[in-house]
Amino acid sequence: MCTGQSGQPTSPPWVDLLLQQLTLAQLGQLTAYAYGQGGSDFYVLTLPGSWTIELSSATGVWSYRQSNGRLDHAGRCATEHDGGIVYVGLDTGHVCTLDASNSAEPAGVLSYMILSPWVGSEERRTTYDALDVTSSMGPAAGTFQLDWSEDRATTWRGVRQITMPSPGQRRAIGRNFGTGRRRQFRFQYTSGAQVPFTIDELFLMTTPGS
């Protein structure tokens, strides 16, 4: 009886560490809400002024949320109205509807960022040859910024502005990143010229070194 009654952990180790590093006073400030969109549930946890992380129940993956010009996301509560429209209350006093065809909030256009996990190795040098992308956004989406870091996202190097290949095509958006040990690549889109932001495939081509 009671299948599924026991708690199931949903936080990966990095979320555990994020929470463990909070003081008692900060724990008391945590605020959360949940909402549904597109057949999935999302749980949004915020440390006001510091960060917001969002859990997708469909994938179990957590991601950060940020409103324009701040570290956290402005959303504080949500409800579903008749017809499935999701209303979100913000800490600015605004009441908004969730809009997948829009990249803006009252505070401004959303910025999208993908920071890759570490690639390469600490023991051996790697030649980073190219970064290949497939996206349904296409060249009309405007420019994206690509750069990389070797020091835990402290300093960034190799900044370049790129455009997406035509939808359905796989194309190298950057070549000849040089040789190094571990790296993280960062991909940013801030113009909001086209929604939804979509990256279908992202491959890094490398040559192992010595």
Partner 1 sequence: MAQINILGSFQDPKSFDQGAGKLVNVRVVPRDPKEAKEGKVRFVGAPGLTQVCRPTAAPCIAICHALGTIWTGHADGSIYSGVETGSPTLQGFVAINATQPIIRFAEDRTALCIASNANTLTGRTGTGYTGTLAAGVVNCGFDTSINFDPSTVAELDNMTLWSAASNYYSSQDSKIYSSNPLAPATVQANAFATKEARADRVVDLAISGRILWPLGSRSLEQWYDTGNGSEPFHSLSELAHFGWPRVAAVASCNPRRHRICRYRPPRMDVYRPVRPADLAAMG
| Subset of residues 81 to 120 that bind partner 1, contact rule: CB under 8 A | 81-82, 85, 87-106, 110-119
Shortest spacing between CB 176 and partner 1, in angstroms? 13
Interaction between residue 163 and partner 1 (CB under 8 A): no
Which string of DSSP letters, residue by residue, matches 61-79? -EEE---TTSSS-SEEEEE
Least distance (Å) between residue 23 CB and partner 1: 12
Q: Are strands 62-64 and 75-80 parallel, antiparallel or unpaired?
A: unpaired
DSSP for 159-180? EEEEEPPSTT--EEEEE---EE
**Structure-token match 């950057």, residue found:** 174
Q: Is 172 in the site for partner 1 (CB under 8 A)?
A: no
- Please report how close the Cβ of residue 50 comes to partner 1 at its closest, in angstroms: 14
Q: How far is the CB of 97 from partner 1 (least distance, A)?
A: 5
Residue environment code for 11-37, b if the CB has 16+ CB neighbours within 10 A, otherwise e: eeeeeeebeeeeeeeeeeeebebebee
Cis peptide leading into residue 13 (ω within 30°): no
Q: Which is nearer to partner 1, 12 or 178 (CB)?
A: 12
Instruction: Choose the binding region for partner 1 from 35-43, 158-166, 173-181 (rule: CB under 8 A).
Output: 35-43
Question: Half-sphere exposure (CA, 13 Å, Cβ side) for 66?
Answer: 14
Whether 173 contacts 134, CB under 8 Å: no
Q: Which of 143, 162, 163, 202 binds partner 1 (CB under 8 A)?
A: 202
Nearest C-alpha neighbor of 70 from the set 53, 88, 49: 49
In the stretch 58-77, what mask flags binding to partner 1 with x, by CB under 8 A?
A: xxxxxxxxx--------xxx
Structure tokens at 84: 């499935």
In the region spanning residues 178 to 197, those forming contacts with partner 1, defined by CB under 8 A, are 184-185, 189, 195-197
Q: Which of 49, 50, 80, 193 binds partner 1 (CB under 8 A)?
A: 80
Residues in 1-30 at the binding interface with partner 1, rule: CB under 8 A: 1-17, 19-20, 27-30
**154 binds partner 1, rule: CB under 8 A:** no
Choose one: 53-61, 155-163, 173-181; the region binding partner 1 (CB under 8 A). 53-61
